[in-house]
Amino acid sequence: MNIIELIIDEKDEQSGIDAVSVVKSPAIEENFVALNKHEVALKEVNEEKRLLMGAALIPNKQIYRHNGKDEYYIFFSEKTVRKASELFLMRGNQNNATYEHKQELNGMSVVESWIIENEKTDKSRLYGFDLPVGTWMISMKVNNEDVWKDVKEGKVKGFSIEGYFADKYEMSLEEKKKHEIIEQLKNLLKLESYTDYPEAAKENAKIALRYAEENGWGDCGTPVGKQRANQLANGEPISEDTIARMAAFERHRQNSDKELGDGCGRLMWLAWGGDEGIEWAQRKLEQIKNK
């Protein structure tokens, strides 16, 4: 059975973890103090404060997966786990939570995040955990009555991450082979590309580009995000995959009301089409799926 290392593609600003889901069967096999279906234990740190502690990612732990026909294992290196934990907070995703990867939740916040540096003296040992160095631990504040009830009844037992990762094997292909694949994909995508996004989405991208031209991008955005802004601003065709990524950018809606210059949030929100572009992408994706 194949064993695949997943990594963060730092050229893709959506690569990384978008949210934490509370689930019945956590994939990393660590219940709270908890990807779906492998076993770590729910630790109720403080009932009065409603805090749950658990492992979000454990380095080098093989996690079983199947996609309908193929079975394989995935794992994350210690370096990738650390990078994922950093990007999760840097992108302001600590209030993003779901239930069993389906229902979005309010009243759930990651209030502590750390990497285990010493197996014997780490804080997690106080709560009965025995996890390896490099494990990403989180504590989550639960101000959601329904979720807390399910926690008390044992219906949810772990944390499970949500996000985008790249296959390291695919990322390490020779440049020539990657170029050939990209060219083939471009030819295919020409058959299924779309330009009917609203003028407001184009204008939002132009606003982002004008701001960046005058003030610089700073630490904001990646080559992918900047390319996306140029595509939208120029009215170029975009693929279904691009539309799906635009729709997924909804997770960053908390940045839609920020001022330009207040961090990177508003700038990248506009670069991806802003309210009008992202809402169009959500509608368009449904239309494509229902063809």
Burial of 291 (0-12, 13-18, 19+ CB in 10 A): exposed
**The one-letter amino acid at 49:** K
Q: Put residue 71 in one of left, alpha, beta given phi > 0 → left and psi -120 to 50 → alpha.
A: beta
Segment 182-236, tens digit of pLDDT: 666 555 544 467 889 999 999 999 999 999 999 998 888 888 788 889 999 999 8
DSSP for 48-116, please give it: TTTEEEEEEE-TT--EEEE-SS-EEEEEE-HHHHHHHHHHHHHTT-TT-EEETTTEEESSEEEEEEEE-
Segment 143-175, tens digit of pLDDT: 989 888 888 888 877 787 776 565 554 554 445
pLDDT tier at 12, thresholds 50, 70, 90: low
